[in-house]
Amino acid sequence: MVSALVRDAALVLVGVAGLWVGAGQFVAGASRLARRLGVSGLVIGLTVVSFGTSAPEFAVTVDAALTGEADISVGNVVGSNVVNLGFVLGGTALVRRLPVDADLVRRDGVLMVLTVGALLLILRDLTVSRIEGALLVAGLAGYVLLLARSDGDAAGPAVDPDPFRRSDVLRLLGGLGVVVVAAHVLVVGAASTAADFGVSEWAIGATVVALGTSTPELVTSVAAAYRGEADLAAGNVVGSCIFNVLGVLGVAGVLQPLTVGPAAFTGALWLLGVSVVATVLLWSRRVLSRPEGVVLVALNAVDWVAAFLGR
Overall average pLDDT of the 24-47 stretch: 69
pTM: predicted TM-score of the whole model, two decimal places: 0.83
Mean pLDDT, all residues of the chain: 84
SS3 category, 258: strand
Better-predicted residue by pLDDT, 280 or 183: 280
CA dihedral 61, 63, 69, 70 (to 10 degrees): 40
Which comes out higher in pLDDT, residue 170 or 47? Answer: 170
The enclosing domain of 124 has a CATH number of 1.20.1420.30
What whole-number percentage of the chain has pLDDT above 90?
39
Ramachandran angles phi, psi of 16, nearest 5°: -65, -45
* Among the listed residues 189, 237, 216, 246, the one whose alpha carbon sits nearest the alpha carbon of residue 72: 189
pLDDT digits (tens, 9 = 90+) for 200-213: 889 888 988 888 88
**Choice between 189 and 271, residue whose per-residue pLDDT is larger:** 271
Domain count, the chain: 1
Length of the chain: 311
Count how many Cα atoms sit within 13 Å of the Cα of residue 20 in the half-sphere of its side chain. 13
For 66-85, b/e burial (b = at least 16 CB within 10 A) is: eeebbbbbbbbbbbbbbbbb
**What number is the average pLDDT over the span 10-15?**
86
Least confident of 71-75, 134-138, 172-176: 172-176
Torsion-angle region of residue 241: left (phi > 0), alpha (psi -120 to 50) or beta?
Answer: alpha
Ranking 75-84, 222-231, 289-298 by mean pLDDT, the lowest is 222-231
Average the pLDDT over 206-233 and give the result.
Answer: 79
- Which amino acid is residue 200, in one-letter code? S
**259: three-class secondary structure by DSSP:** strand
Q: Which domain holds residue 100?
A: 2-308
Q: Which of 40-44, 88-92, 217-221, 271-275 has the highest mean pLDDT?
A: 271-275
For residue 158, what pLDDT is reported? Answer: 45
**Does pLDDT of 6 surpass 80?**
yes
